[in-house]
Amino acid sequence: MKAESYMSTALKLYAEAVRSYFVRELTRVHGSGRGWVEAYLGSLSESRRALVLEDMKRGRTAEEVLDINHFKDILLGQREVFREAFGRSYNRAVTWADEISEVRNAWAHQQQLPEEDVNRTLDTIARFLRLIGAEDSATEVRK
């Protein structure tokens, strides 16, 4: 089976695992309820924050609207949280989140991706998942 056929599954596993990890870490540092949500919202640009708040007004939770495209912003906006968690791998995590977001956007808009780019992205997703301790998901991505 071509690596490209795994992309949707890999992106879903990545989104779920990282979303859960970010909520857990932000809650640990900033507290539950509005604490972690304010930290999340404070990491976003004004335009992204406005879109998230609009979705939340429509009844979606902050966790539900936490999107792959927000992951890099959260890593940068909550630098102290994730530098502590990732140590020397922090800068790599930011780069990986950016790369995965770019490929996800291309994938979502049905752009043709060269197989080597797909393979690189699957590897990057697996590395990020291992970094956050989501070993089972990382293994699933690289099957």
Contact 113, 4 (CB under 8 A): yes
Q: Is 73 exposed, middle or buried (0-12, 13-18, 19+ CB in 10 A)?
A: buried
The whole model's pTM is what? 0.92
Residue with tokens 């979303």: 19
Residue 90's pLDDT is: 98
d(CA 51, CA 58): 11
Residue 3's pLDDT is: 58
Residue 126's pLDDT is: 96
pLDDT tens for the chain, 143 residues long, are: 455 668 889 999 999 999 999 999 999 999 998 999 999 999 999 999 999 999 999 999 999 999 999 999 999 999 999 999 999 999 999 999 999 999 999 988 888 888 889 899 999 999 999 999 999 999 999 87
Residue 115's pLDDT is: 86
